[in-house]
Amino acid sequence: MADAASLHVPLPDGATGVLVLADGTVIWGKGFGATGNAVGEVCFNTSMTGYQEVMTDPSYASQIVAFTFPHIGNVGTNDEDVESHVEGAVGCIVREEVTPPSNFRAERTFGDWMADNGKIGLSGIDTRALTRRIRLAGAPNAVIAHDPEGRFDIPALLRQAQDWPGLVGMDLAKVVSRKGEEGWSGGAWTLGQGYSLGESEGRPHVVALDFGAKDNIFRNLVKAGAKVTVLPGNASLEQVLACKPDGVFLSNGPGDPAATGEYAVPVIKGLLDRDIPLFGICLGHQMLALAAGAKTSKMHQGHRGANHPVKRVGGNWGPTEGLVEITSMNHGFAVDNATLPDNIEETHVSLFDGSNCGIAIKGKNAFGVQYHPEASPGPQDSFYLFQKFVGSLG
């Protein structure tokens, strides 16, 4: 690991942005978006579309996203494609310089949107080489910085990267979660019409615990036929029960599931004891597994993208058992399938590496998946999970 005090790196001509890894590697580029610097874990995402949804996914809190697709920003940005107004990714790394948008839905350039939202961008980077580095050595801690004048204190940025503790043991759900109860309204999006208003009368009531949810999750619950109330991720069991839920949804979110589970797992255990139906995705899936006795662990590189194949291996799918779904994923932690106790059935596995992607609690109406069935961005293969959950509530 490099010594920050002795690090002297010449500034290339025209460089206005830099990525400084905790091991001392310095990668120069052209900055865009917000100015300043931000620290986080560098990960890569293989999605070809939906960069705005990716950047506003709260699951990316304290992360810097390297996009493997080279042309990011060419369709601009718009207000409809924002997944959350809380903290998401702190920055992004792209291969090609961001060009003016060419899309009839565009309202602003990607660079202007990044600046308005306090996110730092870095272009002109060999993202293939960076991706290979992450695949071989794991996701590094780093600082991304942008200064139009090209003024960078590299030793100070290196110290910042080295001093950052990393995501293991970090509870970020408390940072991105809603702070109070919210009655959700709004359903699926349609071109030319926007998001539907949704309905609530006569529908089963789903209480969603927000650990850093994307809004499209709630829209899909509405589309599947539910009335949705959203509570903060740290809501007590009494607060959840006071809403008289027919079922409880456990959302995605950032950080270490074991850390967030310190307060969330006891609530989930209480819901399981009362036989209240549960459905969790991503972080919610991981905490459901923790509540049932399994363990989670940090992944070497994580799964992030909109092209991840997942196979159904259990869960009484009938004629569709063995079917492969192409899914949207964003996680750096996973349920350790070697620790699944007898009361958990594994229902889905990744065809990339065999890691756990789904569980069901035996004898309970409680299940979870590691991927994002709401997509945004991504394929629509997995909407049936919302239908399965809401349909089971009567």
Q: Is 87 known to be catalytic? A: no
Residue 282 falls in the annotated catalytic set: yes
Given the residues 146, 303, 331, 372, the one annotated as active site: 372
Question: Token pair of 108, please?
Answer: 């602003």
Determine which one of 43, 92, 282, 357 is catalytic.
282
> What is the spatial distance between Cα 339 and Cα 256, in angstroms, rounded to a whole number?
17
Residue in 129, 125, 132, 133 with CA at minimum distance from that of residue 98? 125
User: Which residue stretches of the chain are H helix?
Assistant: 51-55, 110-116, 127-137, 154-163, 173-176, 215-223, 237-242, 257-273, 283-291, 384-391
DSSP structural state of residue 108: B
What is the rounded CA–CA span in Å between residue 266 and residue 271? Answer: 9
Residue appearing with tokens 């992944």: 299
- In a 13 Å sphere around the CA of 127, the CA atoms on its Cβ side amount to 23
Catalytic residue among 83, 87, 325, 374: 374
Q: Give the C-alpha separation, 300 to 317, whole Å.
A: 31
Question: Hey, what are 236's tokens?
Answer: 């007590």
Task: Clarify whether 357 is annotated catalytic.
Answer: no
- Residues involved in catalysis: 282, 372, 374
